[in-house]
Structure 1
Amino acid sequence: MTDNISELEMRRKKLLFRGGHRGTKENDILMGRFMEKHLSTLTEEQLDTFEALINEVPDADFFKWATGKEQAPAQYDTDVLRMIRELSNA
């Protein structure tokens, strides 16, 4: 890491890559819209939440939750998922 790139910015760059390579084109689009609009302004807590969605949730479940076809379990039903859902319904 260089002196010019903060740890938080490096984390955002890694999430940008991983979020855009989910495995399904539909999820790549949903994540891409979300990241384009919100990634630069997410708090560290929200980054933790977003990272959990990327690392822990299978693509099929994420898509159902992000599009509102199914309710997410409480641990994933967060402000971050709601922001993603709002963009998927726009």
Structure 2
Amino acid sequence: MDVSAATNPKRMRRLSSVVLRSYMAAMHQDAELKRLRWRAHHRGTYEADLLVGGFFDAHHPSWGSSERASFAEMLEEQDVDILAWASGTAEAPERYQGPMLDALRKLDYITKAP
């Protein structure tokens, strides 16, 4: 007889342990990256979460301290402004002009929502 995980406490603990380990492995160990990732993925609108969070996920591995600082500064801006800069409907302030904004405008990092 097959017993499901929901009715088998040992199996449930084993599954919970596997899920927790995979979740912890996916988390960044760097506190600054954890903070940036959280802020990038929790913007306030679904569209901004996809855009800013997707951008972070695609590009953060190549960032040094100056790019992290620039991204953190950009996160202080309003979602509507960031979306407008990315789509090209508004010009970004001079302080954001450069490779990061160019990469943001490509929009090649946005994946289909789960």
Shorter-chain TM-score range: 0.7 to 0.9
Describe the superposition over 1:56-88 as per-residue Cα deviations: whole angstroms up to 9, x where unpaired: x11111110011111111112232122111126
- Which consecutive segments of 4 or more residues in structure 1 shift more than 3 A? none
Unaligned runs of 5+ residues in structure 2 are: 1-28
Contact 1:67 1:88 in 2 (8 A): no
Q: Which has the higher contact order (CA 8 A, sep 6+)?
A: 1
Contact 2:43 2:49 in 1 (8 A): yes
Contact 1:20 1:28 in 2 (8 A): yes
Match of 1:46 in 2: 67
Contact 2:55 2:109 in 1 (8 A): no
Unaligned runs of 5+ residues in structure 1 are: none
1:66 aligns with one of 86, 90, 97: 86
Match of 1:35 in 2: 56
Q: TM-score, normalised by structure 2?
A: 0.64
Describe the superposition over 1:1-24 as per-residue Cα deviations: whole angstroms up to 9, x where unpaired: xxxx4xxx2111110001111111
Q: How many residues align?
A: 82
Q: TM-score, normalised by structure 1?
A: 0.79
